[in-house]
Amino acid sequence: MSETILSPARQLEMPEENTTERRRSSRFPIERELRYKTLNQRAEILAGNGKTLNISSSGVLFTSDHDLPVGTRLEVSISWPAQLNERCLLNLVARGRITRHTKGQLALQIQQYEFRTQSRPGKEK
């Protein structure tokens, strides 16, 4: 004998704001160390460090000491929390363009990415 439980319909309260979510991918609040450098062959290469604030399959928001203009091409290297075969540290290396900047933060649209193995501290030559 099966039993069916019906719950009363609930009215969900929606915020009054009329905002449209333009992101195609869910963002995850992951804070990881990050290094970045510009990819412009005609200008001086700028490099810096920061921390990710959130990340998705199509973009990353991170802190930055540089206020780079929209359209700037960057390569970022993010210290990844998972390890290869439970013992090899990984970096997520992504390339793309800056789509937004605010004081101390940059948003990068990822155009290509790859995982690279990372040398352990003290093992670099």
pLDDT given for residue 16 in this prediction: 46
pLDDT given for residue 43 in this prediction: 79
Nearest 5°: phi and psi at 43? -125, 170
pLDDT given for residue 3 in this prediction: 45
Q: What digits encode the pLDDT tens for the residues 19-62?
A: 455 556 688 999 999 999 999 878 788 999 999 999 999 999 99
List b or e across 36-48, with b for residues whose CB sees 16 or more CB atoms inside 10 angstroms. bebeeeeeeeeeb
How far apart, in whole angstroms, are the C-alpha atoms of residue 12 and residue 14?
6
Residue 73 burial by Cβ neighbours in a 10 Å radius (0-12, 13-18, 19+) = middle
Q: What digits encode the pLDDT tens for the residues 97-108?
A: 999 999 899 999
Helix (H) or strand (E) holding 76: strand 73-84
pTM score above 0.75: no
Q: Where are the domains of the chain?
A: 33-117
CATH T-level assignment (fold) for domain 33-117: Pnp Oxidase; Chain A (2.30.110)
Nearest 5°: phi and psi at 55? -145, 150
Output the average pLDDT for the chain: 82
Confidence of residue 86 (pLDDT cuts 50, 70, 90): confident
